[in-house]
Structure 1
Amino acid sequence: MALVHDHEEVSSHEEDMVEAFALLYHHVFSYIKPMALKCAVELGIPDAIHGRGGAATLADIAADTGVHEARLPDLRCLMKLLTTSGLFGATAAAVADGGGEAAAAYTLTAASSLVVGPRGLSNIVRFGDGPVSLSPFFDMPAWLRTAPAPEAPKSLFELTHGRSRWDPANADDETMNGAAFAESRLLIEAVLGGHGDVFRRLTSLVDVGGGHGSFAKAIAAAFPNVRCAVMDLPHVVADTPDAGGDVQFVAGDMFESIPPADAVLLKYVLHCWDDNNCVKILKHCKDAIPARDAGGKVIITEMVLGSGPRDTNVAETEEMHSLFLTCISGIGREEHEWKNIFTDAGFSDYKITPVMGPISVIEVYP
């Protein structure tokens, strides 16, 4: 019996229903894609393919990752999904697979290459697709039905976990910290590798909320003439393992004052705060820097929604990231929303330079 496609007898309504069911089911089961990716990362599949020179059969992958031979059909199903979704490639290899047929060889794509090796983004996958990040969204209906109150949790994350995303207790979460470190390292390489002119004419810079100083240290190494300092909360500075050297560490509160410098760097800081608090922070930044003709500016690294190519993947990624930010009481902003904040804080101009997808360097001038 053959499957009959009689296009003349299929009404436009039926076609719409087919597309509607496909879209609905795609959303219903879309959680399986990140779970499959997380599984592949935790098994070490990208590293196994990389270790085989960039191509590996199913048997190779199983041997290198410890997958039991009885689970090969399940592994094949996993790899088929990740290949269909573009995270891996597949080619016909001249390798006999039991019955003498050519076995599929799985290859890395640009996306899966990002999670290879100790410098990869595997911790972002583990954190973003792990229980700490996922569990708050089960409480989203209750959160949306709850009126804000002084005694109520300040974020969906806090409602679920009993503490804010920025609570010092999170310092013990290796996956969370590893994800932040991996993303920060990638951003540093992207900024300094292709957009180092942002720092070239500076003589001093203070990285506000700079943690243990990875960005400031990279800037100091690339531009020895720039005196770099990191300002963060006292408990962060106290826990810095290698304070000293080319970077000065200063304990402080950005809502009170910021040390003077040619430029203030805010890396992934402002998306954590509402507009009023962003204006307060930026006003202190403006007080800390000289006039524009003397080299003064604020350097911000943030996502600017709508600034990149607007294909479906980019658009959905931006909106998903924005929804995740609401989980931790953060905010995703479009250019006009950033402009309003800069204007309210007393700045005269700004320049946006995309550096990594929708993530941009924003230079804000007094």
Structure 2
Amino acid sequence: MAAQTQTIQVPNDAELMQAQADLWRHSLYYLTSMGLRCAVELGIPTTIHGLGGAATVPDLMAALSLPENKLPFFRRLMRVLATARVFASADGGETERFRLTPLSRILVDGVVADEHHSQRCFVLGTTSRHYVDAAFALSEWFKKDLASPVPSPFEDLHGARLFDESTPLLDPELDATVNEGLAAHDNLGIGTLFRECRDLFKGVRSLTDCCGRHGATARAIVKAYPHIKCTVLDLPRLVDHAPRDGVVNYVAGDAFQCTIPPAQAVMLKLVLHHLSDDDCVKILAQCKKAIPSRKEGGKLIVIDILVEPSLGPVMFEAQLMMDMLMMVNTRGRQRNENDWHDLFMTAGFSDYKIVKKLGARAVFEVYL
């Protein structure tokens, strides 16, 4: 019997041209990422800031001490980054001036401000060779019959887990970059949290920041609410280097195994999306033991990404990209409200509410 000839619907002329352009965009998006990395490594955002907030290509070339014969290539890089809204441009031609956008402002280094946390290391970490290699191995990872719990492509390829004691053994520089980037990423928008969620800490007298790293968030809470006694729990290798000035109390320990310091409120800020559902339930159950009942004023505060298409296509795409980042590099994932509900209930909590949605994130209060 002769094989049947397969047919396909051919796009019309306009669809074909658009499909090709879309193919270029999706296949070449990595060049925008690498261009962004290049800008961060060269220090372009910081340089524009230092030049008063706007600069021409020759101004930037001179300030960065770049060879003159690279000028036409540098102009092409800046054009792509301006199109991607990393920078803004005005005038055009030889006098074209590039300015900072909100995106590039959070990439400026060396600025001392309560609410400024440079995201430079976040860019360097997410575009690092180790991350890119893990993504490059994605198809091979899908084909492998791996025993549960399934390791991430990063873990399968490199034999190490991110945010684990095995990471510095893989690459100490990567570990330092990723940890600095994670701390800056997690504390971005802390002022927005205080302004938009004024009642979140109302009546709270004590709080444990579970997996709070060096305590930047806890210290910001104490500064905004001096009456709150804050404790940070995290691994010894993180809290051992935290400042010991009495502002925050630090406890070294593994949240999965040790007793979480009891408090009126326990907080998990951008922790759970790194973890599998099973690990989330384990850590939530530990937190549950550390807080009093809702009637006694107890609550768990969870600040994490809440996947929602209603936020619009750009924000939704950003959330899905973060979900892919978790899939490739950790055992975690981003979750919608049904997912969060299931985690809270499985861990033994009785109720929760969404206090506020802040961009891609949501603030949950979870109760016994």
Please tell me the residue identity of whatever aligns with 1:365.
Y
CA contact (8 A) 2:209 2:232 kept: yes
The SS at the match of 1:299 is strand
The worse-fitting range, judged by mean Cα deviation, of 170-179 and 198-207 is: 170-179
Alignment match of 1:120 (pick from 118, 123, 130): 118
| Deviation at residue 111 of structure 1 after TM alignment | 1.5
CA distance in 2, matches of 1:266, 1:175: 22
1:101-120, CA deviations, whole angstroms, 9 ceiling, x for partnerless residues? 75111112221122113342
1:255-289, CA deviations, whole angstroms, 9 ceiling, x for partnerless residues? 34322211111112211222222222222222221
CA distance in 1, matches of 2:32, 2:95: 24
The worse-fitting range, judged by mean Cα deviation, of 240-249 and 73-82 is: 240-249
Question: Counterparts of 1:1-366 in structure 2 under 5 Å?
Answer: 13-92=12-91, 103-118=95-110, 119-149=117-147, 154-170=151-167, 172=172, 173-237=175-239, 239-243=240-244, 245-256=246-257, 257-306=259-308, 309-311=311-313, 313-327=314-328, 328-354=330-356, 356-366=358-368
CA distance in 1, matches of 2:204, 2:137: 47
CA distance in 2, matches of 1:48, 1:192: 31
CA contact (8 A) 1:303 1:359 kept: yes
Q: Percent sequence identity over matched residues?
A: 37
| Deviation at residue 193 of structure 1 after TM alignment | 4.2
The SS at the match of 1:31 is helix
The SS at the match of 2:109 is coil
Gaps of 5+ in 2: 1-9, 111-116
Distance 1:44 1:329, change over 3 A: same
CA distance in 2, matches of 1:159, 1:12: 40
CA distance in 1, matches of 2:358, 2:118: 15
Distance 1:123 1:235, change over 3 A: closer
| Deviation at residue 250 of structure 1 after TM alignment | 2.1
Please tell me the residue identity of whatever aligns with 1:167.
D
CA contact (8 A) 2:89 2:98 kept: yes
* TM norm structure 2: 0.87
Q: For residue 98 of structure 1, what is the aligned residue in structure 2?
A: none
Please tell me the residue identity of whatever aligns with 1:362.
F
CA distance in 2, matches of 1:144, 1:354: 37
Please tell me the residue identity of whatever aligns with 1:186.
L
Distance 1:90 1:346, change over 3 A: same
Gaps of 5+ in 1: 1-10, 94-100
The worse-fitting range, judged by mean Cα deviation, of 351-360 and 18-27 is: 351-360
| Deviation at residue 57 of structure 1 after TM alignment | 0.8
| Deviation at residue 160 of structure 1 after TM alignment | 2.2
CA distance in 2, matches of 1:139, 1:281: 30
Q: For residue 7 of structure 1, what is the aligned residue in structure 2?
A: none
1:70-128, CA deviations, whole angstroms, 9 ceiling, x for partnerless residues? 011101110111112222111117xxxxxxx7511111222112211334211111111
Q: For residue 6 of structure 2, what is the aligned residue in structure 1?
A: none
CA RMSD of aligned residues (A): 2.2
CA distance in 1, matches of 2:100, 2:235: 41
| Deviation at residue 46 of structure 1 after TM alignment | 1.4
Distance 1:177 1:251, change over 3 A: closer
Please tell me the residue identity of whatever aligns with 1:245.
G
Aligned residues: 346
CA contact (8 A) 1:124 1:183 kept: yes
